[in-house]
Amino acid sequence: MSLKGKKVGFIGSGNMGEALIKGLTVANVVPGEMIWASDVRGDRLKELGRTYGIQLASDNLQLVREADVVIMAVKPQIMTPVLREIASVFSRRKLMISLAAGVSTDTIRAALGREGRLIRVMPNTPALVLEGVTAIAKGDGLEPEDMEVAGEIFSAVGRVVVLDESLMDAVTGLSGSGPAYVAVVIESLADGGVKMGLDRLTAMTLATQTVLGAAKLLLETRLHPGALKDMVSSPGGTSIAGVAALEEGGIRTTFIKAVERATQRSKELGRGSAG
């Protein structure tokens, strides 16, 4: 395995950082003693240390010195100052993987002020339950095994796709932001159930399991979504009546616009971080 013997460091230990640490340790991809983490919240770091048996860095500089793979799990708005902080101890001997939405590898290199082995990725929050999907964009100047290393890390928390960096903002708009859209769908379905007389707990159980089951069915059978819709919708039945109501509300256009606007916002965040 290309990760064998390598130390992995996380700058930023929020939800996504913890999801990756959990995935790596639970799947025995990287042992806890080979994982380092830093965070501005000392209590948060101590909690992660107790839970996963990882190493805690006193600051970002120590983490970069210790790690072979540096995962930047910070918000795009603070990416540039953090990169400038660690630039003096970062070198081509280390691989940097960035999770920051909208922040291009060119922007990262400019902030570091030097060349480096850089990979940009976009995971999503279902990584917290090891059901995420991560897009990995290959950068220039990588070592032969670098993409394999990134694939091993993010396969520990779900599925991985590899694509061109020019498409990463669209990935952010779709799968990166998508869990929020699905949460709104589930909440709305449950609200409809409550309106029709179901108690809230039952309505939420029915809504969440229906969305989970439908997604798993599409994923495993590779059915087109339209085929599943047709399977459920009998002539003059309940499902087609509900689908008609969704179409009246412009559901397709609304979701398309959601992805479009989130993509545009990712580009704006990237331009902001460059400044």
Q: Which domains are present in the chain?
A: 8-165 (3.40.50.720), 178-269 (1.10.3730.10)
Q: Over the stretch 190-228, which tens digit does the pLDDT of each residue have? A: 999 999 999 999 999 999 999 999 999 999 999 999 999
Q: What is the dihedral of CA 119, 125, 131, 137, to 10 degrees?
A: -20
Comparing C-alpha atoms, which of 168, 107, 167, 117 is closest to residue 139? Answer: 117
Low-confidence ranges of the chain (pLDDT < 50): 1
Q: What percent of the chain has pLDDT over 70?
A: 99
Beta strand pairing call for 132-137 and 95-98: unpaired
Q: Over the stretch 54-95, which tens digit does the pLDDT of each residue have? A: 999 999 999 999 999 999 999 888 999 999 999 999 999 999
> DSSP secondary structure string, 145-160?
THHHHHHHHHHTTEEE
Write the DSSP symbol of residue 94. Answer: S
Strand ranges (E), 25-114: 35-38, 55-56, 69-72, 95-98
**CA 155, CA 142: separation in Å to the nearest integer?**
20
User: What Cα–Cα distance (Å) separates residue 75 from each residue in 31, 103, 185, 250?
Assistant: 26, 10, 26, 33
